[in-house]
Amino acid sequence: MTGRSPLAGDRQWSSGTVARKRAPTRIGPHGCDLRKGRWSETGQVYLITTVTQGRRPVFADFWCARLLVQELRAADALGWAVTWAFVVMPDHLYWLVELGDADLSRLILRVKSRSAIAINRALGHTGRLWQKGFHDHALRNEEDLRAVARYVIANPVRAGLVQSVRDYPHWDARWI
């Protein structure tokens, strides 16, 4: 990594399309942090939102955002997910993902854990990077996948971070 991160002076983050389908499986005993009734289904597309601890703008740092993107791509490479679109905002992630060979909670846990380890190591930090849990929305058959992807990648424009999504470096979509 080149350049000094604007977060480097801080010592801590805070104190304190898969062809096969399987039947839906109930989240196991590690799903205690999940909402009751959450299902994890291979081949299902989910819109995931997860937030940094205290909404700290960790990903305003270019290299921190790239470390998170690297973990999203690693999940795809392992066959755990098929990423349709994502955008890394300064303090949260939107991820439109099709579930592969992992249940939803394990997938999110892996991405959050590995990205936190990489970012903390790169910046010399300790402590929690992500808030516990995440929000998910399972897309219904009648929902337009491309329209949801456009919504996801347009977030930096709606937030006033850039005039055009082309000017924002931390997003991708399969169609573009």
Domain that holds residue 57: 40-173
Q: Does residue 20 belong to any structural domain of this protein?
A: no
Q: Does residue 5 belong to any structural domain of this protein?
A: no
Q: Does residue 46 belong to any structural domain of this protein?
A: yes
The reported pTM is 0.79
Q: Is 75 buried (19+), middle (13-18) or exposed (0-12) by CB count in 10 A?
A: buried
Q: Does residue 16 belong to any structural domain of this protein?
A: no
Res. 36 pLDDT band, cuts 50 70 90: low
pLDDT in tens, 107-160: 999 999 999 999 999 999 999 999 999 999 999 988 899 999 999 999 999 999
Q: Does residue 30 belong to any structural domain of this protein?
A: no
Tokens of 126: 């300790």
Q: Does residue 92 belong to any structural domain of this protein?
A: yes
Task: Give the pLDDT confidence score for residue 143 in this predicted structure.
Answer: 85
On the question of pLDDT at 8 being above 70, the answer is no
Position with higher pLDDT, 6 vs 41: 41
Q: How many residues does the chain have?
A: 176
Q: Does residue 111 belong to any structural domain of this protein?
A: yes
Q: Does residue 6 belong to any structural domain of this protein?
A: no
Q: Which residues of 12-22 are buried (b: 16+ CB within 10 A; e: fewer)?
A: ebeeeeeeeee
Count of domains for the chain: 1
Residue 148: which CATH number?
Answer: 3.30.70.1290
CB-CB neighbours of 128 under 10 Å: 18
Task: Give the pLDDT confidence score for residue 1 in this predicted structure.
Answer: 37
What span, in angstroms and rounded, lies between the C-alpha atoms of 51 and 67? 16
